[in-house]
Amino acid sequence: MAEHNPDVALSCRGITKSFGSSPVLKSISLDLELGTVTALSGENGAGKSTLMKIISGQVRPDSGEITVRGHQLPFGNPRAAHKLGVAIVPQELASIQDMAVYENIFVGREIRKKSGLLDRRAMIAEAHTLLQSFDVDIAPQTLMRKLPVGLKQIVEIVKNSSTGARVLLLDEPTSAISDREVAGLYKVVRHLRDQGVAMVYTTHKMEEIQAIADRVVVLRDGNLVMDQPLASISDDDIVTAMIGRELETLFPPTPTRPADPGEPLLQLDDVLVDGAGGPVSLAVGRGEIVGLAGLVGAGRTELLEAVFGTRKIHSGHLHVNGKQMKKHHPVAAIQAGIALIPEDRKHSGAVLSMSILDNGSLPRLSNYTVAGWLNRGKQNAEVSAAMKSVNLKSRGLSQPVETLSGGNQQKVVLARWLTDKVDVLLLDEPTRGVDVGARSEIYRIIVDLAASGMAVLMASSDMQEILGLSHRAIVMREGQIVGTLDRDSLTKETAQEEIFKYASGLGSTPAPLSHTEGVA
Amino acid sequence: MTTTISKLLPKRTPDSNGTKRSRIFNKHWVAGQLFRHSMLVVMLFVIVFFLWRSARFGTADNMQTILVAAAPFALIALGQTLVILTGGIDLSVGSIIAMSGMTAALVAKANPDQVWLAVIAALIVGLAAGAINGFLVSVLQVPPFIATLGMLTAGSGVAFALGNGAPINGLPTEFGKIANTQVLGLPIPVIIMIIGIVVMAVIMKRTSYGLRVYAVGGNPMAALIAGVKTQRILFSVYAISGILAGLSGVLLASRVISGPPTLGEGYELDAIAAVVIGGASLLGGRGTVWGTALGLLLIQTLNNGLDILTVPAYWQSIIKGILIVAAVTVDVWSAKRRT
């Protein structure tokens, strides 16, 4: 064991973790210092959350060692971590909505009177002092439900610090809160830092790193690729560290677009999506793959949902194949030739309990029915052909989808649309939870489908997916388009950095836009 | 429990990559099926036990008694199957039976020459009550448990109000013929039950409607994205459950040739038990009409056999209660095995 340095609040040595056969963390060593805010950064899937969960005792690593001020931390034991003063404020807050703020702060360690009954007055007073010390103006009796997310989060932080946490982990604390609330969060974080708490703050937003971090740690593909004081590095260093430079052979050549693409197949004119910061205009032509880049919460999924009719549109027009969409409902979208491969396969992609055949025929059931009666022969033939076209590996069409691998499930979700004509293919994180082998196959399918004349709009958080597949990339932020890169600029060395700058709102040096439509 | 079952099965050599796997005799598949339907296996043993202990149990007469008793339950259990497949529950069927039975009795008494009017009226009442449930659940998004609990309570009140707090007696003999006539050697309720089961099984297996019901129960969000009008499907299953309860109400009222306001009281629980014992998941998306039919017949067989063996009613309740919990326990555990 390393010698105990009094400034080090927590130290990790050689933390390794795999889920199944895929390694998530590869021998990570890291020291967290007292009174320091460490920004833990990296792309989605780099291993940030897993590392946080290991440190807070929720996940057991495969190997490695964590010591907290000289004491070894037992793995997979959140209570022990808590006792040693390690607390986590998760991305999805775990506050109890129907209890008051003070009750949330004291739940599990309530102040009692001698009689054993709750001493609510003492708890309220104590909570009041606590909140005051953070300069937070909330009445302790307020119901948690009534607070905005940003304040809930601050209550969670106050609660954790009041239990004596010396190491506080904040997992993507700004992912769900508004800019104004972020300022309040910064204040609380700085207050705790001044009190000597060691904090980890996961984020991939550059502006946050600049505003709050003392030290920057970057993970990429499970490796620790950067551990530097903020003062000694530039933004570009961080971005380079996050995205790396490995270009993979994962991608098939981007198809050449037809010489005369004609009218765009999908056209959005000033479409204001429910919850977006402003209207969006874009057009996708026949045979074109347009990548939607941006950070988590940039409004890409919401945009796709709006096009497909599962999310409300407040104003603007939507044209598919030249025809204006009047009804916003999946049934109308499907009839117009739109297909959606949603982000969360388990939640909204496939009906896992049903067979491949039934999943495969669900979107176009009316093609196989006469007066409601299923024509099993036609159903079998067409679904079977569609599944073959994506090279699905299964024991037969009657196999339940839940027993397929992630990659093959995704193929079912994709292929079920292909039993009839699709003009507009909407893809939302098409390779999430898909292993590398199946990934390149899915890329080939996407490219083939585009080559066959579909307009493809693909949201992805995987930078290489955007760069490797798109004819054009659109960068979104807060529900709006903030930048567009054409194929030429996508192949340039600087493309990733450019996208990152747009996405994180760092575009203080606006590069000339190749397309300006939709920039509000 | 999983391991015990797999231990019972013959050991198979692990498949090497080259050999083709038999789909039907796959060890996991057999274990899974046994596990999933273990309650039916247990209850089949029960039947053998009755056959052994009682000479009367196996007679054709007794078989018919079981079927006649099963018929009104079968109709509501079929409706309940659809509702449970969507992940909901319909607690109100007992009260719908009472309301439609009372309506049928009232109409039959007023129009002694036109018994069919009584049948139509009862079906309309059942459909209306089911439609209210469906509206509450699909449009107003009231949790099914609450919506149908309200209908259960209010419906029972309506049934009593229809008879001014008392049973309706003195019905035309024609009305009694509905449930007490034999056609082709089988009582009409049994024929209706058989037709109902077959029709419903075909609907669920061979029509797009059936597939959509499974899809909505299995994953409502995915069903919506695949273009299923999920609200409509939800509404329809409650409406169907209601109209089937209405039909059941007519048969029951006709059998006793009167309109007691307590008709069908507590039937919803036996219907739910039948569906659950038949292997359906209360989480929705899993279950079959055949499973429900088997579950129902086995409950009725158990009632009948225990009666013949003069087991006291309170012991019967205890035995049934244990079986229901055991069936759901198996369901929960098999769901865990799948993930």
Residue A55 near residue A10, CB atoms below 8 Å: yes
DSSP of A83-100? HTTEEEE-SS----TTSB
Average pLDDT across chain A, whole number = 85
Taking only the tens place, the pLDDT of each residue in B90-142 is: 999 999 999 999 999 999 999 888 889 999 999 999 999 999 999 999 999 99
In a domain? residue B11: no
C-alpha closest to that of B223 among A349, A376, A311: A349
- Dihedral of the alpha carbons of A441, A442, A447, A451, in degrees to the nearest 10: 90
Alpha-carbon span A386 to A383, nearest angstrom: 5
| pLDDT of B338 above 70 | no
Give the pLDDT of residue B131. 97
* Spatial CB neighbours of A476, under 8 Å, sequence gap ≥ 6: A280, A292, A293, A294, A298, A299, A300, A303, A482, A503
Give the pLDDT of residue B180. 87
Question: A348-376: string of b/e by CB count within 10 Å (b at 16+)?
Answer: bbbbbbbbbbbbbbbbbbeebbeeeebee
Give the pLDDT of residue B336. 62
In a domain? residue B25: no
Q: What is the pTM of this model?
A: 0.74
In a domain? residue B162: yes
Contact criterion met (CB < 8 Å) for B208 and A374:
yes
Alpha-carbon span A374 to B208, nearest angstrom: 6
What 3-state class would DSSP assign to A9? strand
In a domain? residue B3: no
- Dihedral of the alpha carbons of B154, B156, B159, B161, in degrees to the nearest 10: -60
Query: Residues A378-385: contacts with CB within 8 Å, 24+ apart?
Result: A382/A419, A383/A356, A383/A357, A383/A416, A383/A419, A385/A419
In a domain? residue B37: no
Residue A221 near residue A454, CB atoms below 8 Å: no
The CATH number of whichever domain residue B248 belongs to comes to 1.10.3470
Phi/psi of residue B297, nearest 5 degrees: -60, -35
Rg (CA), chain B: 21
Mutate to test the interface with A, among B17, B22, B219 (most CBs of A within 10 A): B219
In a domain? residue B27: no
Residue B221 near residue B100, CB atoms below 8 Å: no
Residue A519 near residue A277, CB atoms below 8 Å: no
Give the pLDDT of residue B94. 96
* B211/A contact by beta carbon, under 8 A: yes
Which of A310, A330, A351 has the CB atom closest to B219's CB atom? A351
Mutate to test the interface with B, among A353, A369, A399, A425 (most CBs of B within 10 A): A353
Alpha-carbon span A97 to B104, nearest angstrom: 49
Residue A41 near residue A243, CB atoms below 8 Å: no
| Tokens at B146, concatenated | 């609450």
Q: What is the number of structural domains in chain B?
A: 1
- Three-class SS of A291-303: EEECCCCCCHHHH
Taking only the tens place, the pLDDT of each residue in A286-334 is: 999 999 998 777 889 999 999 999 999 999 999 999 899 888 899 999 9
Contacts with A396 from chain B: Cβ below 8 Å: 23
Amino acid making up residue A447: V
- Dihedral of the alpha carbons of A434, A438, A443, A446, in degrees to the nearest 10: -90
Which of B21, B23, B218 has the CB atom closest to A353's CB atom? B218
Give the pLDDT of residue A259. 66
Taking only the tens place, the pLDDT of each residue in B17-48 is: 334 444 555 666 677 666 666 666 776 788 88
Alpha-carbon span B157 to B165, nearest angstrom: 9
Which of A334, A349, A352 has the CB atom closest to B227's CB atom? A334
Give the chain B residue nearest A308 (alpha carbons): B225
In a domain? residue B2: no
Taking only the tens place, the pLDDT of each residue in A91-124 is: 777 788 888 999 988 888 888 888 888 899 999 9
C-alpha closest to that of A55 among A63, A46, A44, A67: A67
In a domain? residue B15: no
Q: Is the ipTM of this complex over 0.95?
A: no
Question: B291-317: string of b/e by CB count within 10 Å (b at 16+)?
Answer: bbbbbbbbbbbbbbbbebeeeeeeeee
Give the pLDDT of residue A508. 45
What domain range is B252 assigned to? 49-334
Alpha-carbon span B95 to B181, nearest angstrom: 26
